[in-house]
Amino acid sequence: MRVISTSLAAIAAVALAACMGAQASKPAPVAEIHSIDVTGMDTSIAPGDDFNAYANGNWIKATEIPADQSSWGAFAILRDEAAARTLTLIEAAAKSNAPDGSEAQKVGDYYASYMDETAIEAKGLAPLQPQLAAIAAIKDGKSLARALGASVRADVDPLNNTNFYTENLFGLWTSPGLEDSAVYTPYLLQGGLGMPDREYYLASSTKMAANRDAYKAHVAAVLKLANMADADARAARVLALETEIAKAHVSRADSEDVLKANNPWKREDFAKKAPGLDWTAFFAGADLSHQPNFIVWQPGAVSGIAEVVKATPIATWKDYLTFHLLNHYSSVLPKAFVDERFAFYGRVLSGTPQLQDRWKRAVAYTNVALGDAVGQLYAQRYFPPEAKAAAQAMVANIKSAFAKRIDALDWMSPATKAQAKEKVATLYVGIGYPDKWTDYSALAIANGDAYGNARRAELFEYNRQIARLGKAVDRTQWSMTPQTVNAVNLPLQNALNFPAAILEKPFFDAKADPAFNYGAIGAVIGHEISHSFDDQGSQFDAQGRLHNWWTPQDFAHFKASAAQLAAQYDAYAPFSDAHVNGQQTLGENIADVAGLSASYDGWVASLAGNPEPTIQGFTGKQIFFLAYAQTRRVKTREPALRQQLLTDGHAPAQYRAQAVRNIDGWYDAFGAKPGQSLYLGPNDRVRVW
């Protein structure tokens, strides 16, 4: 990639020199725009009929999704830019001749080892032989349980839609306790599926049946690449096993009900409540024998999966574990494994025609393994103090606006208002990068050992997570790296993280008018603040405890408004046979509407009584809402969109842009009228906060 870039730069330099030598005239420089993308709009469409198409219609028509992407939009574009920036930092570390054991050495060697396809090809499956031999040695229920426990990783976060269904039989989440948020607690969650959701196994549609056939073929292909006999028969048994696991799973919508998740189990309870699995051996394999208490997020699933363990022959479990070991580490195995995984997960499930360049994958995996080490370099290079100060000022203004909105609620009692305002006042907001960085001194990274590096990095993170269990919670602990283009609300910490990489154009532009920035990044800030008061966040108090701080009447009103919003999103159907699940996406939809409202109020307050500006022929109000819609612009391939409808807590982007229909200021800005598709009467607009 860099060779090509260097060559292109050299060619361009020669061409430019030739032009200058011939006294050719230079083209006029294109003025940089510090506002909305007017050319991306389709003004032939009335804003009140389809605001997403009005704001983004021409962009949607003109944009081709890159061949290596399942979707493309504002977030993806910025992620690509962040990846390119990160690449320069990682390559610099790789060339720095840093001393052994330093973070620069580890970052550089991890990346270089991942990129060394020749070495990976030469080793074949030799690096996996210890793990494959351990699976082959499983002979009884006890050794099986220990192996299943050894496969557990800390790779799930049910409150933030992160890898909700883990490929391992169970997932571990370490976080503050639901009722005791002062100490870190282990949560056990359902897992064990190689496809994204239980519906891929259980739904009767022809599309899902085709996915199941493709998955069975994928399992067989992976086993054949490992030279296993009777691969087709083994694959059929693996699919049948995962189907039984899927039957035990709780639905996505039910899994997002935090009240159903509050199930404290003592370690000795597992044998009684979930018989069929040797839990003593399982916890020993997972290095959790010392943990006396757990929270079981989906108890019915845990009990059901334990029954499946008992009912399934050990030989089938060995095939299952072998496949998942190979499937999981395929990115650091020979090219045939890489291509086979992409053929299923990329082409079949997401509709993506082309595998990403290896450097992009290498950057992504280096970020996973050594995120804070790379993050320190990123923050130092790309996040100046003035950017942090500007973001902090916007956060303070939007927090103040949210508190004022609480004061203005005519349906909420003074007692509930006081509790809500305390949550806002005590909310920790991390901007750019964490105050404390992860210490990687215990992680060994060796040049030329791509598989070993990946496995050791996973185990390092797992051990780091379980080492926290029982210890005091640090509310300032981050869950994202600075180079991540995203933001997060952590309700059990009453905290927010806004990484440096999202505080960039098109979300934040230091040269843009506040109307633009409040509509773009301000809506993201408001969204994350509002997660503290969505259908899940509203059930946690200022200390992060699962605690009912509402009066019954106030909570009934809140639930009614939430149900109204769920029904609004249920009506959105991108396909004739599939629609948005309003309950599954409720938390994100509440955060969109409430966050946009708070950010709008924050922008109005920032005017300090001065008239709104006129920019590019639009009023400040219009700029605000257009900036919001344009930072939600996304174009998605059909298979990926169908997968999102089933598995994602976010509504598709085209419907998130329509959240404006619940905001009074949008009607003032664009004059939407009765009879237009998005119009809602004043009493029908959802005002959750």
pLDDT, tens digit, for every residue of 180-232?
A: 999 999 999 999 999 999 999 999 999 999 999 999 999 999 999 999 999 99
pLDDT at residue 5 tops 80? no
The CA–CA distances, whole Å, from 546 to 91, 414, 540 equal 45, 21, 4
Residues listed for the chain: 689
pLDDT per residue as tens digits for the range 382-416: 999 998 999 999 899 999 988 999 998 888 999 99
The confidence score (pLDDT) of residue 164 equals: 58
Q: Locate tokens 């080490």: which residue? A: 373
From residue 171, give the alpha-carbon distance in Å to each of 111, 145, 158, 345, 640: 27, 14, 10, 21, 24
Query: Cis (ω within 30 of 0) for the bond into 334?
Result: no
Unique residue bearing structure tokens 């032939």 = 44
pLDDT of residue 629: 97
Q: Which pLDDT score is estimated for 534?
A: 82
pLDDT recorded at residue 689:
83
Tell me the per-residue pLDDT of 622-635, one tens digit each, with 9 for 90 and over. Answer: 999 999 999 999 99
Reported as a single tens digit per residue, the pLDDT across 461-503 is 999 999 999 999 999 999 999 999 999 999 999 999 999 999 9
pLDDT tens by residue, 73-88: 999 999 999 999 999 9
Q: What is the 3-state secondary structure (H, E, C) of 462-507?
A: HHHHHHCCCCECCCCCCCCCCCCCCCEEECCCCEEEEEHHHCCCCC
Q: Which two tokens stand for residue 296?
A: 């079981």
The pLDDT assigned to 32 comes to: 65
For residues 166 and 463, give the distance between their C-alpha atoms in angstroms, rounded to a whole number.
Answer: 18
Mean pLDDT of the chain: 91
Q: Residue 468: which residues within 8 A CB-CB, separation 6 or more?
A: 174, 184
Are 600 and 668 a contacting pair, CB within 8 Å? no
Predicted confidence (pLDDT) per residue in 283-300, tens digit: 999 999 999 999 999 999
The predicted-structure confidence for 607-616, as pLDDT tens digits, reads as follows 999 999 999 9
The domains of the chain, with CATH numbers, are 125-332 (1.10.1380.10), 402-428+512-684 (3.40.390.10)
363 vs 615: CA distance, rounded Å: 39
Task: State the pLDDT at residue 16.
Answer: 26
Measuring CA to CA, how many Å separate 303 from each of 78, 276, 294, 300, 456? 43, 8, 14, 5, 31
Q: Distance of CA 176 to CAs 181, 275, 529, 628, Å?
A: 5, 28, 19, 33
Q: How confident is the model at residue 8 (pLDDT cuts 50, 70, 90)?
A: very low
